[in-house]
Structure 1
Amino acid sequence: MAATNDSRFQYEMFLLTGIPGQEGAYLWLSIPFCLIYAISIVGNLFIVFIIKTNPSLHEPMYIFLSMLAFTDLGLSITTMLTTLGIFFLNSREISLDACFAQVFFIHTLECIESSVLVLMAFDRLLAIRDPLRYASVLTLQRLAKMWLVCVLRGVVVMFPFPFLLKRFRYCRENILTHSYCIHGEVMTLACADITANNIYGLYITLLTEGLDSLLIFLSYVIILKTVLSITSKAECLTALNTCVSHLCAVLVFYTPLIGLTLLHRFGKSSSLLQILLGYVYLMFPPLMNPIVYSVKSKHLRAKILRIFVN
């Protein structure tokens, strides 16, 4: 105990957390977690494969969907090893450097996904408000540049996180609430003033997810205004129906993100709700997005059914 109160003491690893109190059932719990990861990885790979191999799907909406699927695939792989390691092998240890690397990849991919959701909102806005210019504005060259900007934005704004964490000494309790490392929690274990990390983390959250959610909201305000001006009820419903999949993706991504952020700042530490929401936060979007788009997109669904029928 004395060592943990000595600022000269430095932990060499953190301990990740599965589901407290359910250690005896970890082997059984590993089955649904394996299924979720398998469906997420196979589903997103399948979406990318279908879009890549079908020239008829080389349209902006589907290219944005392949960007989303690629990002979700990265999120699943980034958290899979530590999560399944806990439930399969009860392996909770993660080195500091591995933890900091995971922080970078999780937050970078999270930022990229948020950016792609903004692009998909712009895609729907342009398709509904100005359909005649849709193809001329969203050319393949511009789509490639948009994807590059999304990736660079995520890498640049999240790049300082590992270095901001690495400069600290960690001499408090080294137990993390989740089965993965995120910046907002790791920094609280440091034996130092974390004001700079707090300010930078808040600034980046507002600059990325905060700004992105505002842009998506404004896009849908304009979309709704445009749709309501359509006199034909059938055309109005058709236009709204093209937005359902994207709205589901937005809700699935932002709802647990906002909830977990609020719990980390104002909730009880290590609460069961916080732990469960942590799994939903990173596992639910990669699982649900390929399912929702496969069901709602008529052309994508037809291509998938053709593969299995033939």
Structure 2
Amino acid sequence: MTDNSHEDPAEFDTDFRLTVDAADAGKRLDAVLAAHIDALSRNRIQSLIRSGDVTVGGAKVVEPKFRVNEGDPLALSLPEPEDPEPSGEDIPIAVVFEDEHLIVVDKPAGLVVHPGAGNWTGTLVNALIHHCGDSLSGIGGVRRPGIVHRIDKDTSGLLVVAKTDQAHQGLAAQFADHGRTGPLERSYAALVWGAPSNLKGTIDTNLARSQSNRQKMAVVKTSGRHAVTHWQVRERFGAADQPALASLMECRLETGRTHQIRVHMTHIGHPLIGDDDYGSGFKTKINRLDEPLKTVVGAFDRQALHAGLLAFEHPVSGKTLRFESPYPADFANLLLSLQNF
């Protein structure tokens, strides 16, 4: 590949030009550009192609999978930066770790990660824009700057956010690999109704949008996305001579699908306490509880799920980072009440 404008393509500012050589002939446009522009991820390059910011032979090409030919002159022009939308908001966030490349936060329950329908303000993204200024990675797009992964609004716990495109690319690769070849690790504490007969196990299914309610996910036999959750019972609650009322489970994600743990726990018959979407059939259990547990469980107004462990390789330094988050007050109070039952 011949670069006609810069000795080091990773250092270009607004424009990048090159000519396709024999080695790259027949390859996808996005793949060729990604291989020669270290400063941008392939996702970012695909977005730029679709936006009309890439030309082949002087003509705009908006399809990332377009196949290039030997001798084709390619040009990529970075658009002028746009004012951030959404805007920053002075929302308190618990910063666990931060450097110039990334930030790890401990998200409270009730805080939406990024803007969307019905939640255009007051999100973690708004808080991060205020906290980080213009340093967030732009790969996620205007509404999701820096977001590599997310947890549900009513799930508490640890989340890593990229501040640079380089960090975003490195973190995204780890999450896509699901920790198979690296140190990525995600563990959740879950308080569920009942307890499995075994102490540990693995749930391996496909998940897709529910046909009856598009806001929910469901286990499906065909199609969908592969989802794997490894679980272990940490503690059972209730009388020794009776079936367990509830249990504390550790859930480790091998994949990260929408509502994965919530759907999987329901799938094995042990939905999360407080999960009105996937455990509504267990609400009647609350009325049969004795006080004060009845009041505590009845007042718990979210799914009892906490992302307590997050480990990954720093995408720049290569150092393994590991973070643990203590139970938030509401989760700890519910756990104590169950232990004292």
Q: TM-score, normalized by length of structure 1? A: 0.31
Greater share of residues in strand: 2
- Indicate the structure (1 or 2) with the bigger Cα radius of gyration: 2
